[in-house]
Amino acid sequence: MKTLATIVGAVVLIVLSSIWYGYVLSIVWGWFITPTFSTPHLRIPAAIGVAAAIRFITSPYSESKDEDEHKPASERILSGIIKAFVVPAFTLFFCWIVKHWM
């Protein structure tokens, strides 16, 4: 049962973080890329695809670190949640500040 909960949690994390990354990318795109290069706005579904492609290209598969293998699954999921939601939130905040200089 614990394994099933871990798998479901990982799938939910992947879906929610993909939507969050896409949302943040669509906002940042609208702030910087659209006015600078006169491109159309990037809608959230397209931004999810672009974000996924960028992550695929820039984050090659790597072996997990030995210290991560010894952590409980719940701790690894919590770490994934923090990385998946805090990093885009910080990016959005940083870009919001930079936007005011344009």
Q: Is residue 15 part of a domain?
A: yes
Name the residue range of residue 83's domain: 2-57+73-99
Tell whether 33 is covered by a domain.
Answer: yes
Is the model more confident about 74 or about 30?
30
Three-state SS letters, the chain: CHHHHHHHHHHHHHHHHHHHHHHHHHHHHHHHHHHHHCCCCCCHHHHHHHHHHHHHHHCCCCCCCHHHHCCCHHHHHHHHHHHHHHHHHHHHHHHHHHHCCC
Indicate whether 63 belongs to any domain: no
- Does residue 66 sit within a domain? no
In-domain check, residue 67: no
How far apart CA 50 and CA 23 sit, in angstroms, is 11
Residue 41 resides in a domain? yes
| pTM, 2 dp | 0.81
Residue 68 belongs to some domain of the structure:
no
pLDDT digits (tens, 9 = 90+) for 78-91: 888 888 899 999 99
pLDDT tier, 63 (very low <50, low <70, confident <90, very high otherwise): low
Share of the chain above pLDDT 90, in %: 51
Residues sharing a CB contact under 8 Å with residue 94, sequence separation 6 or more, in sequence order: none
- Residue 28 included in any domain: yes
* Total structural domains within the chain: 1
* 29-48: pLDDT as tens digits: 999 999 999 999 999 999 99
